[in-house]
Amino acid sequence: MSLFNKKKSKQEKPEKKKSVIREWIEAIIFAGIAAIIIRTFVIQTFMIPSGSMKPTFLPGDFLIANKYIFHFREPKRFESIIFKYPGDPYHPQPRDRYAKIIRPIYWDKKNFLPKYYKRRDYIKRIIGMPGDTLQIIDKNVYLNGDYIDEDYVQHVDYRIIPRDEGHLYLGSKFMGSRDNYGPVVVPDNKYFVMGDNRDNSSDSRYWGFLDRDMIQGIPIILYMSWDGNSNKIRWNRILKIE
């Protein structure tokens, strides 16, 4: 080897390898981005908080929801759906107090702290499709004049509330009671949803139609079920495919 080559080789510096800490940071960032993408567009976990969907879903049921399915097809009648509750404001209130950073992260101008905010997730069953005429008579549901047999429904209140004793409105129009409602025509791009525990469900009878763009997905797998009353796992419900 010539003297020139020897000097050149001495001047060359070996490439620096990434530090272990840097590799971990990059891996964590990549995993976080991937998790956000998957949660936003593919699947999401969801816990049933109330008994409004009994007996189909129980409080403490943990579900995996398919979020990409409605990119390929429209919602179907009688299927259970997960959606953003229309009664929650789109932006945390009071609106002028919070500045959006990256939804669902907002900046609290008063307390100088970040705030996590998103609408609550609900689960109900689609009963009325766009264009349907829906009416409830003595707890029985009629679609376009025909009675529908709902074997998934549970009634726990023996009372039947007459229409004229109800206090339900759709906008300014009086709609009747929980058990005698309508008739009402479902507008385009909207749905009428109800809970299976029909006497104890906050649904379209109370807060109106559900917009199509509020629908997030459908439950596909029940992967865990916890009975909060007895503090026991409901083993017979685990891995139930919906």
Q: Mean pLDDT in the chain? A: 87
* Model pLDDT, residue 39: 53
Q: List pLDDT tens digits, range 136-152.
A: 999 999 999 999 999 99
As a whole number, mean pLDDT of residues 213-236 equals 92
pLDDT reading at 5 higher than 90: no
Q: Model confidence at 27, in pLDDT bands (50, 70, 90)? A: low
pLDDT digits (tens, 9 = 90+) for 92-101: 899 999 998 8
Side chain identity, residue 22: R
What is the H or E stretch that residue 167 is in?
none
d(CA 160, CA 138): 6
What average pLDDT score do residues 154-171 get? Answer: 96
The answer to whether residue 37 scores a pLDDT higher than 60 is no
Q: Establish whether 124 is a catalytic residue.
A: yes
What is the structure's pLDDT at 93? 92
| Catalytic residue from among 52, 80, 201, 225 | 52
In this prediction, residue 11 carries a pLDDT of: 55
Say how many CA atoms lie within 13 Å of 213 toward its Cβ: 1
Q: From the candidates 124, 190, 204, 225, give the one annotated as an active-site residue.
A: 124
Q: Is the predicted pLDDT of residue 198 greater than 60, yes or no?
A: yes
Q: How far is CA 159 from the centre of its chain?
A: 31
**For 65, left (φ over 0), alpha (ψ -120 to 50), or beta?**
beta
Provide CB contacts within 8 A for 19, sequence distance 6+. none
Look at 34-38, 41-45, 181-185 and tell me which has the smallest mean pLDDT: 34-38
E strands, the chain, where? Answer: 43-47, 61-66, 80-84, 98-102, 105-108, 113-116, 121-128, 133-137, 140-143, 146-147, 168-170, 173-176, 181-185, 190-194, 210-211, 215-227, 232-233, 240-241
Domains of the chain: 44-85+120-241 (2.10.109.10), 86-119 (no CATH)
